[in-house]
Amino acid sequence: MNDSFLFAVLLLAPIFGFLFNGLRFKNKNYKLAGAVASVAIGVSFICSVVLVIKLVAMPEASRAIHVHFYNWIEVAGFNANAAFVVDQISAIMILVITGVGLLIHIFSIGYMSHDDRPSKYFAYLNLFIFNMLLLVLGDNLLIMFVGWEGVGLCSYLLIGFWFTDQEKAAAGMKAFIVNRIGDAGFLLGIFFLYVQFSTIEFSSLNTLATDLAASGPLGWSHPLVLACICLFVGACGKSAQIPLYVWLPDAMAGPTPVSALIHAATMVTAGVYMIVRLSFVYMAAPQVMTIIAVVGGLTAFFAATIGMTQWDIKKILAYSTVSQLGYMFLGVGVGAFMPAMFHLMTHAFFKALMFLGSGSVIHAMGEEQDIRKMGALKKAMPITSATFTLGWLAIIGVPGFSGFFSKDEILWFTYASTQGSKWLWVVGVLGAGMTAFYMTRLMCLVFWGKSRVPEGTHPHESPASMTFPLIVLGVLSVVGGWIGIPHVISAILPGHPPNILGHWLEPALATANLITTSAVVEWSLMGISVSVVAISGYFAYTAYIVKTDIPEKCVKAFPRLHGLVLNKYLIDELYFGRIINPLIDISKGLWVYVDVNFVDKLTYIASDFVKSIGRLFGSLQNGNLQQYAMYIAIGVVVMLSFILMG
Amino acid sequence: MNLLSVITFLPILFALVVWFLPNEKHVRPVSLGLSIVHFFVSIVLLVKFDISSAGLQFVEQTPWVQSAGISYFLGVDGISIWLVILTTFLTPITILGGWTSIQKKTRGFHVSIFVLATTMIGTFLAMDAILFYVFFEASLIPMYFIIGIWGGKNKIYAATKFFIYTMLGSVFMLLSIITLMVLAEGQLGQMSSSLLDFYKLDLNFLPGQFLSTQTLLFFGFALAFAIKVPLFPFHTWLPDAHVQAPTPGSVILAGVMLKMGTYGLLRFCLPLFPEATAEWGWIFLALGVVGIIYGALVAMVQPDMKKLVAYSSVSHMGYVVMGLFTLNAHGLTGSIFQMLSHGISTGALFLLVGMIYERTHSREIKEYGGLAVVAPIFSIFFIIVTLSSIAVPMTNGFVGEYLILMGTFMVNKAYAILAVTGVVLGACYMLWMVKKVFFGPPGKLIKDFQGKNLDLNKTEVMTLLPVVVLIFWMGLFPGHFIKYTKASVDHMINAKQGYYLKIEGRQKKVATIKYKSTRVTR
Amino acid sequence: MEAAIVFYGLSFFMTVLSLGVLFNPNPIMSALYLVLTMIGVSLVFFMLDAGFLAGVQLIVYAGAVLVLFVMVIMLFDLKREVYTFSRGFFTRLLKVFTGVVFLIILVKSFFLVPETKELLNSSTQMTTKNLAGLLFTEYIFVFELLGLLLLAVAIGAVALSRIKGGTHAE
Amino acid sequence: MLSSELLHIGLNHYLGLSAVIFVIGMLTVLLRRNLIVMLMGVELMLNAVNITFVAFSSFNQNMNGQVMVFFVMAIAAAEAAVGLALAVTIFKHYKEIDISAFEQLKS
């Protein structure tokens, strides 16, 4: 089949679904809406698979299919074409997006069955998929930016989907505005790159940046370095890194499948994807990579600490997402682009699974999200529980599950890369330990232990349309990691399974140099991290199942620290108190004091000046006849004196 | 008769038709039909336009006041063509916008709208400075009546402020035009007010000094246009005028009249005074940036929807001015594009605010809330237009803003970085309004209307549909629009020093002969 | 010599009398001073060999116009005024100053006129007959117009006085 | 020299007299509040002009000046008549003849 046609179908199928559902947005037939939407994404998925098969058939060195539709913006040398490319990196992304997206669409049919406006919901979801595809397929930065803003918009619409709730609407707005801050950074990054290289196409950028880097290290003020910083700000906004992560936990106000799709599997990883796309550019600015690694590590750590104290099932998963995204950034920051992509993919599987699982739980509990009111759901919801367990094993990094391979690869690079550092590795391992703690805590409180389900709620297993995606994702969470088994491990496995993913991505990515490649070191590091995870998981199990008074004691021991962490380090309050409220005050001041009372007053002063002159001359016309006669006399005198004098 | 004259004066004819229409009930449909006819006539211009040429096309030149070299001189090029189309496009929209909101003196209202159309198109097409001035000033009169007769509570105040403020600036422009005419007499041997002759003048410029001919003339023109744009700090007439004006008045005012200012900057200031522009352009860049941020900040705390949109106009027009003074192709193209897209999206915003005002008779943001429940179609339209206003990609707002920001970035990074904050602030104030008005629990006003149908009727949907189509068309295929302006913009950049305009087409010979003959007779 | 004495004497009295018009707070007294000034003017006419005009002056002004004035004053029953002069010290000063400057300019301007030393009264043309001749030949149209004007004034004055209001309102 | 200038009564003397009376009349108009006295001031001014006319007429041996005086007198009489009639009307209406009471021409 023709490439352009494939691309067009891939991109336009979701748009068709969007228009179909969007134009009949008042319709309440959730089955029809969901079916159309799912079929649209299914078509996209098939196209993606066909494209990837085509890609595999191509020679290794030139695996990329470029398609050029039309010139979008073309001004004086600046070219932003509506051009798309699928290569090794975007191939993974489109498979994840359409694949996971399809599963989540199917899940949504069941989940949204009781909602008032399912058509609108599916329309937004399809629009999101379209934008996400634009983001990953764009051949240049601007098309990527279009998708970038588009997914932000869809996220806004979907977070605020139940807009009659003031808080949910506010959460949507917050997400959009924080994303906008990132977008502003992204725009500036584009400008810097364009000014430097006169192009915004990825392939040319990567080549040119490599050439530039070859001529020696670049200073902080070099446009390329500044561009990398600006783009990273954009990535921070979209991928919820410190300091712009605040929107993601609030974004859980949206329907749970949305959280799974947008705020776990796809959109939030866009930042990682973008940096991976520009891996060669970033390699030319090592100082920025250090910043990214530090920010990523800190995010992974702090989000994990917050995750340990939350009671809302979705909030825990949200902070877990932030933390895992931190890992990905840690990965790209130390030059581990391949592991970052790998983690992105496995994370998409297991986090989507867990969100959908939580959705299933919430659905079953009648919109209850507090884990203190759950417990022992294993019996009521066996499938959900089983699949969730798989996700849990994957995320905490139990050897053999997908999360283990990807996370461990990142940690290994953190330790061994020239960009990395041992301290970052320590932070990463601590984060991994905490991940194990809070995820085990979640499992204990929700599925195991004693039931604390309130009277009147009868949890039940979800319908097949919801469990089917769970099962598929559960399987993927386990086997998803097997395509990227690191060399050390594969060396001892029977049949030496190859690192398919690493091999696949290698031509498209920059790679960092490793300081040491000793297998012994790698094994021991792996051992340390696995044992940390095991200990902390066991501790969580003890604390929440065996001796349930331990958490209380810990809280009592460190009340202020716990309070701080429970309130998310008061970051939201800080932003409101220090940035947003002052800004509003300044604006009010500007309006009242500058606009109304200064600038406008100036015009009044000018007009009053004119008026007072008028009044001055008006006072001459006081109606007194004798005064008028005097003016005549004065006039005669003046005229006569002129005549006589000259 | 020449096409441009037809396009310019057809509305006057329509105004007469409407004036003498026997039955007042027929005024609305007849005006709508006539304005649509006018729109299609202007489309002919678009079809016949030669996009490869940077020169003046469809030129028409007849002596008017021979002794002073003033002529009736119309011409169109890539800079003005879209503004003409924008005017003819918005006229039917405004007539539809006033379909129900204008209740008294409908005849007079439609006559005003048509006369206004003529003056605005004339402003964009006039290639003679005096003719330009006449149209520029004449446009105030119908607008004055529209605000002053069909306006809100404080209409007379707003109309007077609008009139006097704009008039003040124009006085300086007139002075500068006369100076240029006198200079033309000295340098070309004959008094002339033709722009093409003005372009030939050699104006004395002393770098760094304010009191040189070119600088003074530059500021004379720039002040008039800055007030019209309106550029910070000359913007205070705008919120008053918008709040008091009736919906169609606001649409035309924001949609087209503000563009007369930026068009003037582009037509007069940049090519006539290249050195002064290069020397003093930073002031306008800076004022543009200040306007962007200031307008956005002030918009953020407005309690009144219309005022909010008015201040957002200040912010958006700041972008346009900034783009113009970047003096590169990206900025200029972006500015022209932004003029169009601002005309469409802000016009649509005013329409939408007017539509909801008709139903609830309130524009207080805090009295709304939960409107999306009772008026879903309205909300969809409003959110689409909002997105276009905050420059989400794939809508028209993005292309212009992006190009302007990039152009600015290439000139001065600091300004661009400051201006980018406007992108964030823009999202803040618009989404804040959307949240307060459409989302959340039903507000005070909406509770009163619970159960009633607040949603748009068919007429209103038909009014908004072309706007929305255009929003996406311009966003997805900006090339269709940019290609018309490309040649002119490139020419303006390349011939920055010593700008000239050629006269294209068959009229060329006639025009030059006429021109020579007038010279001989003198 | 005698002529000079007569002229200066006359001028002095006329000046004083007209100042009386200006300064006397009682309108009746002003009117009387005006009559005397008018008589002085008619004497000046005599001195200038314009006998007919002097007579007319006496008849018209001292006889008719002034009677009119006095009658009107009587009609209003005006007494000595409390406020004789217009308001405002500065304005008053300005008015007087203007008057003085005007006088100076006028007097100064006379010296621009070529001096005619002699009274050319030897001429035979300066007679009433000639005056009448001129009036009824060359100026006949103006003369008739004047008659018309006087008629209009007569009618107008009557009409104005008959407007209802004030003391005659009842 | 001076004495002969003073003693020989010439045109300038008459003109001077007329100027003095004219200015006094003018000041009467300007300064007095009483409407009737103001009219008297106007009469004074007209008479001063008449003196000028007659003086020039005599010194130039030209009868036209006297004709003009004739006309001026007629018009002065007419003016006095109309003026006084107006004064009467005003007085009837306002019970007031003080000019400063009538400032309806105020801007």
Q: Could you read off the pLDDT of A494-511 as tens digits, one per residue?
A: 777 888 888 888 888 887
Tell me what pLDDT residue A13 has. Answer: 93
- Beta-carbon contacts of residue D2 (< 8 Å; ≥ 6 apart): none
Q: Say whether the D–A interface has 3 or more Cβ pairs within 8 Å.
A: yes
* Whole-number Å distance between alpha carbons of B232 and B288: 7
Tokens coding A476: 């993927």
Q: pLDDT, tens digit, for every residue of C49-62?
A: 888 889 988 888 88
Nearest to D29 among A621, A623, A629 (CB): A629
User: Residue B521: what pLDDT?
Assistant: 41
**Banded pLDDT at C115 (limits 50, 70, 90):** low
In a domain, C22, yes or no: yes
Which residues is A514 bridged to in the sheet?
A: A417
Separation between Cα atoms, residue B40 and residue D98, nearest integer Å: 73
Distance of CA B125 to the CA centre of its chain: 13
Q: Write down the mean pLDDT value for chain C.
A: 82
Counting CB pairs under 8 A, whether chains B and C reach 3 or more, is no
Q: Which two tokens stand for residue B45?
A: 């211009």
- Over range A535-561, report the average pLDDT: 83
Q: In the prediction, which pLDDT does B516 show?
A: 42
Domain that holds residue B162: 1-272
Q: Does residue B161 belong to any structural domain of this protein?
A: yes
The answer to whether A188 contacts B416, with C-beta atoms less than 8 Å apart, is yes
> Measured between CA atoms, how close is C80 to chain D, in angstroms?
11
Q: Does residue C53 fall inside a structural domain?
A: yes
pLDDT at A553: 82
Look at residue D44 in the predicted model and tell me its pLDDT.
92
Q: How many CB atoms lie within 10 A of CB A223?
A: 18
* Nearest of B150, B119, B91, B109 to residue B27 by alpha carbon: B109
C70 in a domain, yes or no? Answer: yes
Residue B510 lies in a domain: no
Count of domains for chain B: 2
Measured between CA atoms, how close is A603 to chain D, in angstroms? Answer: 25
The yes-or-no verdict on residue B1 having pLDDT over 70 is no
Q: Is the ipTM of this complex over 0.90?
A: no
Please, which pLDDT band fits residue B512 given cuts at 50, 70 and 90?
Answer: very low
- Tokens coding A176: 């959009």
Instruction: Find chains touching chain B: ≥3 CB pairs under 8 Å.
Output: A
Question: Over chain B, what is the mean pLDDT?
Answer: 88
Nearest by CB to C60, from D26, D73, D85: name it: D73
Residue A61 corresponds to which amino acid?
Answer: A
A634 and C105: CB-CB below 8 Å? no
Of the pLDDT bands very low, low, confident and very high (cuts 50, 70, 90), residue C114 is low
Contact C98 A637 (CB under 8 A): yes
Are B297 and B199 within one domain? no
- The better pLDDT of the pair A216, A541 is held by A541
Do B265 and B278 sit in the same domain of this protein? no
Query: In whole angstroms, what separates CA C88 from the centre of its chain?
Result: 28
Q: What is the pLDDT of residue D5?
A: 65
Nearest Cα of chain D lies from the Cα of A586 at a distance, in angstroms, of 46
What pLDDT, on the 0 to 100 scale, is given for residue C117?
53
Q: What is the pTM of this model?
A: 0.85
Residue of A nearest to C103 (CA): A637
Subunit contact A188:B441, Cβ cutoff 8 A: no
Question: Among A620, A413, C106, which Cα is nearest to D107's?
Answer: A620
Q: How does pLDDT run across B336-354, given as a tens digit for each residue?
A: 999 999 999 999 999 999 9
Host H or E run for residue D4: helix D2-7
Q: Residue C122: CB partners within 8 Å, gap ≥ 6?
A: none
Give the pLDDT confidence score for residue B385 in this predicted structure.
Answer: 94
pLDDT score for D1:
47
Q: Note the pLDDT of residue B287.
A: 93
In 3D, which of C37, A541, B327, B94 has the Cα closest to residue D41? Answer: C37
Q: What is the CATH number of the domain that holds C23?
A: 1.20.120.1200
Number of domains present in the structure of chain D: 1
Environment class of A312 (CB within 10 Å of its CB; exposed 0-12, middle 13-18, buried 19+): middle
C-alpha to C-alpha distances, A424 to A286, B116, C147, nearest whole angstrom: 16, 68, 121
* In a domain? residue D79: yes
Determine the average pLDDT of the residues in A550-578: 81
Of A624, A630, A637, the CB nearest to C101: A637
pLDDT for the residue numbered A102: 92
Does A439 score more than 80 pLDDT? yes
From chain B, pick out residues whose CB is under 8 angstroms from the CB of A72: 476-479
Paired tokens of B273: 């005074």
Residue B331 makes CB contacts below 8 A (sequence gap 6+) with B322, B323, B324, B325, B403, B404, B406, B407, B408, B411
One-letter amino acid identity for B145? Answer: F
Taking CB atoms and an 8 Å limit, are A622 and D106 in contact across chains?
A: yes
Chain A, nearest residue to B232 by Cα: A599
- Would residue D106 count as lying in a domain? no
Establish if B522 belongs to a structural domain: no
Pair B345, B466 in one domain:
yes
User: Between chains, do C149 and D82 touch, taking CB under 8 Å as contact?
Assistant: no
Hey, which residues 41-80 in chain D have their CB within 8 Å of chain A?
none
pLDDT at B511 over 60: no
Beta carbons within 10 angstroms of residue B265's beta carbon: 25
What is the percent of chain A with per-residue pLDDT over 90, rounded to a whole number?
31
Query: Is B512 domain-assigned?
Result: no
Q: Is the CB of D58 less than 8 angstroms away from the CB of C131?
A: no
Interchain pair D99, A624: CB under 8 A: yes
The beta-carbon neighbor of A624 closest among D29, D31, D103 is D103
pLDDT of B293 over the 90 cut: yes
CA distances from B167 to A160, B138, B150 (A): 47, 10, 21
Chain D: residue whose CA lies nearest to A633? D26
Best of C102, C104, C110 to substitute, by most chain A Cβ atoms within 10 angstroms, is: C102
Judge whether B326 and B495 are in contact, CB under 8 Å: no
- The Cα–Cα gap between B360 and B94 comes to 20
Give residue C110's domain range: 2-124
Q: Angle of helix A166-197 relative to helix B396-411, nearest 10 degrees? A: 50
User: What CATH number is associated with residue D11?
Assistant: 1.10.287.3510
Say which residue, C3 or A389, is predicted with more confidence: A389
Please give the C-alpha separations between residue A585 and each of A150, A581, B280, B364, C155, in angstroms, as whole numbers: 31, 6, 33, 20, 79
If you search the block for the tokens 């021409």, which residue do you land on? D105
Residue-wise pLDDT tens digits, B449-492: 776 777 888 888 988 999 999 999 999 999 999 999 999 999 98
Contacts of A455 (CB under 8 A, 6+ apart): none
pLDDT digits (tens, 9 = 90+) for C65-86: 888 888 888 887 777 777 778 7
| Range of A40-54, B47-61, D78-92 with top mean pLDDT | A40-54
Q: B513 pLDDT exceeds 50?
A: no
At residue D106 the predicted structure's pLDDT band, cuts being 50, 70 and 90, is low
Position D66 in a domain: yes
Q: Is B72 helix (H, G, I), strand (E, B) or coil?
A: strand
User: Quick check: C169 pLDDT over 80?
Assistant: no
Question: Beta B57-65 vs B70-76: how paired, if at all?
Answer: antiparallel
B37 and B79 both lie in a single domain: yes
Distance of CA A379 to the CA centre of its chain: 35
The Cα B76–Cα B493 span in angstroms is 18
Helix B376-389 and helix B396-411: axis angle, to 10°?
20
Would you tell me which residues 29-48 of chain C have a C-beta closer than 8 angstroms to some C-beta of chain D? 30-31, 34, 37-38, 41, 44-45, 48
Distances (CA, A) of A483 to A37, A505, B387: 30, 12, 42
Check CB contact under 8 Å for D107 and A624.
Answer: no
Secondary structure (3-state) at A454 = coil
Calculate Rg over the CA atoms of chain C.
21
CB contact under 8 A, A624 and C98: no
Mean pLDDT, range D28-46, rounded to an integer: 90
Question: Which chain B residues are within 8 Å of A604, Cβ to Cβ?
Answer: none
Q: Cβ contacts (< 8 Å) between B477 and chain A: which residues?
A: 70, 72
Query: Which residues share a beta bridge with B503?
Result: B56
Q: Is B73 left (phi over 0), alpha (psi -120 to 50) or beta?
A: beta
Shortest Cα distance, chain D CAs vs residue C110, angstroms = 6
Q: How far is CA A17 from CA A24, A130, A131, A160, D71, in A?
A: 11, 10, 13, 21, 104
Using the CB atoms, write b or e for B21-58: b if 16+ within 10 Å. Answer: eeeeeebbebbbebbeebbeebeebeeebeeebbbbbb
pLDDT given for residue B131 in this prediction: 93
> In chain A, which residues touch C (CB < 8 A)?
624, 626-627, 630, 633-634, 636-637, 640-641, 644
Chain D CB contacts of A633 under 8 Å are 26, 30
Short-list C121, C120, C123, C130, CA closest to C53: C130
Domain assignment present for residue B513? The answer is no
What digits encode the pLDDT tens for the residues D14-35?
888 999 999 999 999 998 888 8
In a domain, C86, yes or no: yes
User: Looking at CA atoms only, how far is residue B290 from chain A in angstroms?
Assistant: 12
Q: Where are the alpha helices (DSSP H) in A247-312?
A: 247-250, 256-260, 270-277, 279-283, 286-309
- Evaluate the CA torsion angle B255, B258, B262, B267 in order and state its sign: positive
Give the rounded distance of the alpha carbon of C32 from its chain centre.
13
Among A633, A636, A644, whose Cβ lies nearest the Cβ of C109? A644
For testing contact with chain C, the best of A628, A636, A637 (most C CBs within 10 A): A637
Examine residue D17 and state whether it is found in any structural domain, yes or no: yes
CA B444 to chain centre: 36
The predicted pLDDT at position B359 comes to: 85
Looking at the partner chain, which of C86, C98, C105 has a beta carbon nearest the beta carbon of A644? C105
User: Has residue C96 got a pLDDT over 70?
Assistant: yes
Residue C112 lies in a domain: yes
Within a domain: residue B503?
no
On the question of pLDDT at A308 being above 90, the answer is no
Tell me, yes or no, whether C35 lies in a domain: yes
Q: What is the pLDDT of residues B409-458, one digit of tens each?
A: 999 899 999 999 988 999 999 999 999 888 888 888 777 777 677 788 88
**Average pLDDT value over all residues in chain A:** 88
Closest-CA residue to B325 (of B502, B128, B496): B496
Residues of D with Cβ-Cβ distance to C116 under 8 angstroms: 10-11, 59-60
Note down the domain range covering D58: 2-100
State the nearest Cα–Cα gap between B370 and chain A, in angstroms: 6
Per-residue model confidence (pLDDT) at position B225: 93
**Which residues in chain B touch residue A71, judged by CB atoms under 8 angstroms apart?**
479
Residue with tokens 């539709």: A69
How many domains does the structure of chain C reveal?
1
Handedness of CA A361, A363, A366, A371 (dihedral sign): positive
Tell me if A622 and D107 make a contact (CB, 8 A cut-off).
yes
Q: Which residue of D lies nearest to A619 if distances are taken between CA atoms? A: D107
3-class state of residue A370 by DSSP? strand
Q: Give the residues across from A74 on adjacent strands.
A: A79
Q: What is the pLDDT of residue C121?
A: 52
For residue B519, what pLDDT is reported?
42
pLDDT tens readout for residues A376-398: 888 888 888 899 999 999 998 88
Specify if D107 maps to a domain.
Answer: no
